[in-house]
Amino acid sequence: MLRYLPFLLIIALTIYTFIDCLNTPEEEVRHLPKVVWVIIILVFSIVGPVVWLFAGKKRQGVGGGRPGRTQWVAPDDNPEFLKSLREEQESREKREKRDEKDKDQ
């Protein structure tokens, strides 16, 4: 069983890099067109996936992701989300007041 492990790892690496390449937007692919990268990954079973991982895609650094960040980390950091919560709470309160007023009449 252990003798099959290298083959399974190579297949897993190839599948992972193939899917990663297909899901990568064209503007993030480096050095070659995306179609050429797919062919390299599939034809050169060990070298192709490794080269894709190191040279084929623009990758962000591990640290220092804060300054260029374009997405919110959590919903409570997103001012638009917080605004929508406030508006929802206000509309709920108005509706409850209106229902109480109608109930009294």
Per-residue pLDDT tens digits for 16-30? 999 999 888 888 888
Residue 100 confidence class, pLDDT cut points 50, 70, 90: confident
Tens of pLDDT along 43-95?
Answer: 988 899 999 888 887 776 555 555 555 665 677 777 888 888 899 999 999 99
Greater confidence (75 vs 40) lies with: 40
pTM exceeding the 0.75 threshold for the entire prediction: no
| Residue 41 near residue 52 (C-beta atoms within 8 A) | yes
